[in-house]
């Protein structure tokens, strides 16, 4: 039996679960041993990060102490405790992308946005991170934005990537403009 | 019968039961393997790597604390190669530990320091990479200094598994790993109940009691302050460990004498307060049992760690809690009312210090407005046994030689029932002695209730008083409470007969003798010996039931009026409230 079918079985059992998202999430995972990380994954998938209040609520619903949840959240780089921004740009730094020049792309985006890897723009629009292999090395060098993959990038043209995302203005310029208003 | 395991350690043959670790087998062969993260109370985690040994048959280096010995194993523990590896581990550990031994509370009482001395560590080529992490003094009971942490994980195991509090955890990973309050907030905002078991199990100075000895010395020097002191039952059988006395030695008389020499104007005993607690609590039990004046089972409330735990995690049990204050609070409030009145001293001048085996008492003294029912804070400072031992050392007193003295009897005379409060089951036993008298009008033919004694996590028993069966339970170590309360809840919901009439809970394993403020190195052997020191005093005493204490009778006759009177209620009782697990 595949992992997916197990998940489906559980999902079908909780069709009438309460409206609240976290309660549904907890109901879905709480009877599966070792499933905390899956629940946290899903939570971060929806919110972009795991806010403290949500972690507490999930813990209460799943019967998992907050201490445990934070052990997991801080152990894995993947999880975020603070809102990373509206657009999460993940530049692949895996082997294939690295050889194809992804560090250059990363630096280019850093310059465009005026932030360093792992940081967010002050207005909360963009978060930039380097990630290990995204699993589509044939498209190297690549980046993903909010899960959507942008493959075969010109590493000298970070601006172009940001344009594709739909926001061609470097964020500090946008932020200044917003401030001026 | 299972076959025994035969192996050799440094050439010495050993025969042990299957499952025995190499570390334990080595002890049997009188071979000492150094350890750091391993604690006798706790499951081995193999976190530190100091206890590494070599299996000569395979050439493998293994951690002896968590590797079961196998048949035919030829173990080597002290080859130059092994010593070199251990030194390497120790050097790495020391490279991220601050060199502050001389000004650390654990100076000369630190497992890491001892290990460094044993290994003859001198300088190191490694750069010092002490993490820059802030001190957490938020609880004012326990101080967290994560810079001094060696990441052994003992505090976390004890907090999560033994106490079921989950206030502490590791955060991050690898080089950035650190201990922190759950959710990376100040410890005071976490579910921490201040039991201090983390500090009692910490091998270094990373978690210590909030030291208030300087405050007490200052008050003792202050001509306007009238300093009085009281000592808890469990202190008398533990403080001697700091002065080379054998485990469990009862040093009550030397403690009284030392306290007077330090400058305390009156030396009281919390055992008196324990007797008084029993007088009020047994009366409370009798009226709940016979007159239905409150919920049953009655649950003891003299342990502040347990009270905090109940308020945070088991708020549905509030009605079951005894409203009696804990013994040191009773002595505190009476010091500033009864004693002040009798002696003609302005209570504003009286400074009450309690010496307790406990870190949670430091928080208890300010937990609610009832802790100031004299009109002043009833207990001004609560010191742990460890702080008290340091004060004796600072005072120039020859503790070994000092002749014994008596307490000030007005709030210092006590019975054996008060003494045994310091061991798990002792409060229950003391309460049963007096409850028997209250219910039947006469003393039980035998006042030893052995069912309450010993280190089993949950003890249950029943007795018949005046034709009525009374069922009791005693739990110690907070993780053991759950099953007892669950039985009560299940019966309550099903409308069945209650499983118990009376429950005693102590937060720390072994009760107060194993308290979080006691001298380091508590094992079950030590807990048993400390408790034995208390039971011996009880056996040998003139009075063994709280209601026989003549000074308690005098207190009611001269000051409080009847048991359960308005005055007694105002001064000796308190209330509880549901608290959030997290303040944020």
Give pLDDT, residue A153. 92
Closest residue to A65, CB basis, from B171, B182, B184: B182
Task: Give yes or no for residue B551 having a pLDDT over 80.
Answer: yes
Segment (H or E) for B426:
helix B426-440
Task: Give yes or no for residue A10 having a pLDDT over 90.
Answer: no
Q: Enter the tokens of residue B110.
A: 């630190």
Give pLDDT, residue A30. 82
| Distance from the A64 Cα atom to the nearest Cα atom in chain B, whole angstroms | 10
**Whether the Cβ atoms of residue B231 and residue B272 lie closer than 8 Å to each other:** no
The mean pLDDT of B202-215, rounded to a whole number, is 98
CB contact under 8 A, B166 and A74: no
Task: Spell out which residues of chain A touch residue B167, defining contact as CB-CB under 8 Å.
Answer: 67
| Distance from the A40 Cα atom to the nearest Cα atom in chain B, whole angstroms | 15
* A71 touching B (Cβ < 8 Å): yes
A97 has binding-site annotation: yes
Give pLDDT, residue A166. 67
* A67 touching B (Cβ < 8 Å): yes
Return residues 42-61 of A near B (CB < 8 Å): 52, 55-56
Task: Spell out which residues of chain B touch residue A55, defining contact as CB-CB under 8 Å.
Answer: 183
Beta-strand relationship, B74-76 and B60-63: unpaired
Q: Enter the tokens of residue B264.
A: 């305390």
- What residues pair up with A92 in beta bridges, in sequence order? A131
Out of A116-130, B365-379, B412-426, B527-541, pick the least confident.
Answer: A116-130
Question: Cα angle at B328 between B324 and B331, to 5 degrees?
Answer: 90
CA distance B542 to B552: 15
CB contact under 8 A, B582 and A71: no
The mean pLDDT of B547-563, rounded to a whole number, is 97
Segment (H or E) for B447:
none
| Distance from the A14 Cα atom to the nearest Cα atom in chain B, whole angstroms | 26
Q: Which of B167, B170, B182, B313 to mutate to test the interface with A (most CBs of A within 10 A)?
A: B182
Task: Spell out which residues of chain A touch residue B172, defining contact as CB-CB under 8 Å.
Answer: 74-75
Omega cis (within 30) before B520: no
Q: What is the mean pLDDT of chain A?
A: 80
* B186 touching A (Cβ < 8 Å): no
* Band (B211; pLDDT cuts 50, 70, 90): very high
A99: Cα separation from own chain's centroid: 24
Return residues 553-582 of B near A (CB < 8 Å): 582
Task: Spell out which residues of chain A touch residue B582, defining contact as CB-CB under 8 Å.
Answer: 56, 66
**Residue B233: other Cβ atoms inside 10 A:** 31
Closest residue to A70, CB basis, from B160, B173, B183: B183
Task: Spell out which residues of chain A touch residue B171, defining contact as CB-CB under 8 Å.
Answer: 70-71, 74
CB contact under 8 A, B171 and A74: yes
The mean pLDDT of B389-413, rounded to a whole number, is 98
* A118 touching B (Cβ < 8 Å): no
Task: Spell out which residues of chain B touch residue A66, defining contact as CB-CB under 8 Å.
Answer: 166, 182-183, 582
Write the pLDDT tens digit of every residue in B265-319. Answer: 999 999 999 999 999 999 999 999 999 999 999 999 999 999 999 999 999 999 9
Instruction: Name the residue in chain B with its Cα closest to that of A51.
Output: B183
Write the pLDDT tens digit of every residue in B459-472. Answer: 999 999 999 999 99
The mean pLDDT of A130-153, rounded to a whole number, is 89
Write the pLDDT tens digit of every residue in B25-70. Answer: 999 999 999 999 999 999 999 999 999 999 999 999 999 999 999 9
More confident residue, A23 or A141: A141
Instruction: Name the residue in chain A with its Cα closest to that of B160.
Output: A67
Write the pLDDT tens digit of every residue in B69-79. Answer: 999 999 999 99
Q: Do the two domains B5-92 and B96-121+133-209 of this chain adopt the same fold? A: no
Task: Give yes or no for residue A171 having a pLDDT over 50.
Answer: no
Write the pLDDT tens digit of every residue in A23-65. Answer: 888 888 887 778 899 999 999 888 888 999 999 999 999 999 9
Sign (positive/negative) of CA torsion B526, B527, B532, B538?
Answer: positive
Q: Which of A67, A70, A74 to mutate to test the interface with B (most CBs of B within 10 A)?
A: A67
CB contact under 8 A, B172 and A74: yes
Give pLDDT, residue A45. 85
Identify the CATH number of the domain defined by range B5-92: 3.10.20.740
More confident residue, B541 or B506: B506
Domains of chain A, start order: 3-75 (no CATH), 87-180 (3.40.30.10)
| Distance from the A18 Cα atom to the nearest Cα atom in chain B, whole angstroms | 24
* Band (A3; pLDDT cuts 50, 70, 90): very low
Question: Cα angle at B510 between B504 and B515, to 5 degrees?
Answer: 100
Give pLDDT, residue A123. 85
Q: Which of B183, B192, B580 to mutate to test the interface with A (most CBs of A within 10 A)?
A: B183
A-B interface: how many C-beta pairs under 8 angstroms? 35
Return residues 113-172 of B near A (CB < 8 Å): 160, 166-172
Give pLDDT, residue A22. 86
Task: Give yes or no for residue A175 having a pLDDT over 80.
Answer: no
Segment (H or E) for B330:
helix B327-334
Omega cis (within 30) before A168: no
Give pLDDT, residue A167. 53
Q: What is the mean pLDDT of chain B?
A: 97
Task: Give yes or no for residue B374 having a pLDDT over 90.
Answer: yes
Task: Spell out which residues of chain A touch residue B173, defining contact as CB-CB under 8 Å.
Answer: 74-75
Identify the CATH number of the domain defined by range B214-572: 3.40.50.1780
Residue A140: CB partners within 8 Å, gap ≥ 6? A92, A94, A96, A97, A99, A100, A102, A151, A152
Omega cis (within 30) before B297: yes
* Band (A105; pLDDT cuts 50, 70, 90): very high
Task: Give yes or no for residue A19 having a pLDDT over 50.
Answer: no
**Nearest-CA neighbor of B213 among B78, B100, B105?**
B105
Structurally, at CATH architecture level, domain B96-121+133-209 sits in: 2-Layer Sandwich (3.30)
Domain boundaries, chain B: 5-92, 96-121+133-209, 214-572
Q: Please tell me whether the overall predicted TM-score, pTM, comes out greater than 0.90 for this model.
A: no
* Band (A134; pLDDT cuts 50, 70, 90): confident
**Which are the catalytic amino acids of B?**
281, 284, 302, 322, 361, 364, 370, 512
Residue with tokens 């997290």: B582
């Amino acid at each position: 039996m595949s992992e997916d079918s197990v998940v489906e079985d559980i999902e079908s059992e909780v069709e009438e679960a309460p409206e609240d998202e976290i309660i549904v999430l907890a109901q879905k995972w709480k009877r599966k041993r070792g499933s905390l990380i899956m629940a946290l994954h899903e939570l971060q998938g929806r919110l972009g990060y795991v806010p403290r209040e949500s972690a507490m609520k999930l813990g209460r619903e799943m019967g998992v102490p907050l201490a445990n949840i934070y052990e997991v959240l801080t152990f894995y780089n993947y999880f975020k405790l603070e809102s990373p921004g509206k657009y999460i740009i993940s530049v692949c730094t895996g082997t294939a992308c690295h050889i194809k020049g992804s560090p250059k792309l990363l630096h280019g985006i850093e310059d465009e946005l005026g932030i360093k890897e792992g940081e967010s723009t002050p207005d909360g629009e963009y978060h930039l991170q380097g990630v290990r292999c995204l699993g589509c090395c044939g498209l190297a060098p690549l980046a993903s934005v909010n899960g959507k993959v942008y493959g075969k990038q010109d590493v000298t043209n970070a601006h172009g990537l940001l344009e594709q995302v739909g926001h061609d203005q470097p964020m500090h310029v946008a932020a200044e403009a917003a401030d001026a208003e | 019968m299972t076959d025994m395991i035969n192996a050799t350690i440094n050439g010495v043959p050993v025969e042990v039961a299957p499952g025995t670790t190499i570390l334990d087998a080595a002890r049997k062969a009188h071979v000492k393997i150094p350890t750091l993260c391993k604690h006798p109370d706790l499951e081995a985690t193999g976190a530190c790597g100091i206890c590494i040994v070599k299996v000569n048959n395979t050439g493998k280096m293994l951690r002896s604390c968590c590797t079961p010995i196998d048949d035919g194993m030829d173990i080597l523990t002290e080859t130059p190669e092994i010593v070199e590896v251990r030194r390497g581990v120790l050097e790495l550990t020391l490279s991220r530990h601050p060199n502050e031994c001389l000004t650390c509370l654990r100076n000369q009482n630190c497992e890491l320091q001892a290990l460094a001395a044993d290994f003859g560590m001198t300088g190191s080529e490694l750069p010092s990479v002490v993490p820059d992490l802030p001190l957490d003094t938020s609880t004012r009971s326990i101080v967290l200094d994560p810079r001094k942490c060696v990441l052994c994980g003992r505090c976390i195991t004890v907090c999560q598994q033994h106490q079921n509090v989950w206030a502490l955890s590791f955060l991050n990973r690898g080089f950035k790993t650190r201990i922190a309050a759950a959710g990376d907030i100040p410890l005071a905002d976490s579910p921490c109940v201040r039991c201090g078991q983390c500090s009692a199990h910490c091998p270094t100075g990373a978690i210590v009691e909030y030291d208030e000895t300087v405050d007490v010395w200052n008050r003792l020097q202050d001509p306007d302050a009238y300093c009085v002191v009281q000592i808890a039952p469990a202190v008398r059988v533990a403080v001697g460990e700091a002065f080379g006395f054998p485990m469990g030695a009862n040093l009550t008389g030397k403690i009284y004498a030392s306290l007077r020499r330090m400058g305390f104007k009156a030396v009281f005993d919390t055992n008196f307060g324990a007797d008084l607690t029993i007088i009020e609590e047994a009366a409370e039990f009798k009226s709940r049992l016979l007159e239905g004046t409150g919920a049953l089972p009655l649950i003891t409330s003299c342990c502040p760690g347990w009270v905090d735990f109940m308020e945070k995690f088991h708020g549905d049990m509030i009605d079951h809690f005894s409203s009696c204050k804990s013994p040191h609070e009773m002595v505190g409030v009476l010091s500033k009312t009864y004693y002040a009145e009798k002696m003609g001293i302005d209570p504003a001048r009286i400074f009450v210090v309690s010496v307790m085996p406990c870190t949670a008492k430091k928080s208890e003294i300010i937990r609610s407005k009832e802790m100031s029912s004299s009109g002043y804070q009833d207990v001004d400072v609560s010191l742990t046994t460890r702080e008290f031992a340091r004060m004796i050392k600072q005072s120039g007193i020859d503790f070994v030689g000092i002749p014994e003295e008596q307490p000030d009897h007005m709030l210092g005379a006590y019975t054996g029932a008060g003494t045994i409060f310091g061991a798990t089951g002792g409060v229950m036993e003391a309460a049963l002695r007096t409850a028997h008298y209250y219910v039947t009008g006469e003393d039980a033919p035998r006042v030893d209730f052995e069912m309450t004694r010993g280190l089993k996590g949950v003890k249950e028993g029943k007795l018949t008083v005046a034709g009525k069966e009374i069922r009791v339970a005693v739990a110690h170590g907070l993780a053991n409470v759950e099953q007892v309360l669950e039985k009560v809840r299940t019966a309550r919901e099903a409308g069945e007969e209650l499983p118990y009439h009376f429950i005693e809970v102590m937060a720390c394993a072994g009760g107060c003798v194993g308290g979080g403020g006691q001298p380091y190195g508590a094992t079950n052997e030590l807990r048993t010996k400390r408790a034995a020191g208390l039971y011996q005093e009880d056996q040998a005493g003139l009075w063994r039931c709280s209601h026989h204490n003549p000074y308690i009778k005098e207190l009611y006759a001269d000051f409080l009026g009847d048991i359960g009177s308005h005055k007694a209620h105002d001064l000796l009782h308190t209330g509880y409230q549901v608290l959030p697990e997290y303040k944020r």
